[in-house]
Amino acid sequence: MAELDGKVAIVTGAASGVGAATARVLAREGAAVVVADINAGGAEAVAKRIRAAGGRAVPAVTDVAEEAQVAAMVDVAVREFGRLDLLHNNAALAGPEVMTRDTLITEIDPELWDRVMRVNLRGYALGAKHAIPAMLESGGSGVIVNTSSGTGLLGEPSRSAYGTSKAAIFGLTRSIATQYGKQGIRCVALALGLIATEALKANFAQPVQDMMTSHHLTPRLGEPEDVAEVVSFLASDRAAFITGCAIPVDGGFTAHTASYADELRLLEAAEG
């Protein structure tokens, strides 16, 4: 029997990247999955792929910044599969059209700041707001996994709004875990390193990818499946005592001082 048999999950931002990989892994482990994304075609394609592999999945076109759409997304899970056990809050504004404008705090456009917060933070809060009652009605337990980032733990020379939104997710995670833990709801954040999604490969030049790889302690960047496997574990009963915390899934990105790592590489190059 698969580990998540009988479980029902919602994954946001699931049309591509980490979300799509997570939806596939959860389905592989037996969960029924609502593939939620603002990209209708992408969500349908992921759901169709899961069904073709013998899993259960339906798409839900969802802008996570809009409360009515988030409520409807949760309703899809309960209507189609009868319950809700897992919400993976994963949708985020991280495309180049946003990131190139997300600069110094003294220069950032307030409209862009608000837009990033609406999706990256408000979207997660709305997901929890509507998922928790459905989880409690499903039997009094559930898991919320919030995708955050190592950039929420460390300062950056730019990306002020993105980094702040990711830092706030850690606080939101602790609040949810504290408020609903005694009712059986667990909440965990993931502090991701750089994940080699198709979008990253398309939008970051190879020298930039190489530079970022050098700041991870692993010989490669993360893959979407690396994150998906952690989400699947956290959704399982094996993780029943894990809540209210941030788990690094970052290849050691936040475990060292980058300047020292650069110095070491220079010394090794000189000796070579």
Residues classed as catalytic: 162
Extract the tokens encoding 50. Answer: 């899961």
- Contact status, residue 161 vs residue 148, Cβ threshold 8 Å: no
Nearest to 233 by CA among 50, 38, 88: 88
- Contact status, residue 196 vs residue 223, Cβ threshold 8 Å: yes
End-to-end CA distance of the chain: 52
Query: Is residue 205 packed enough to be buried (19+ CB in 10 Å), middle (13-18) or exposed (0-12)?
Result: exposed
Q: How far apart are CA 116 and CA 57, in angstroms?
A: 29
DSSP per-residue string spanning 67-81:
HHHHHHHHHHHHHHH
Q: Give Cα 184 distance to the centre of its chain.
A: 22
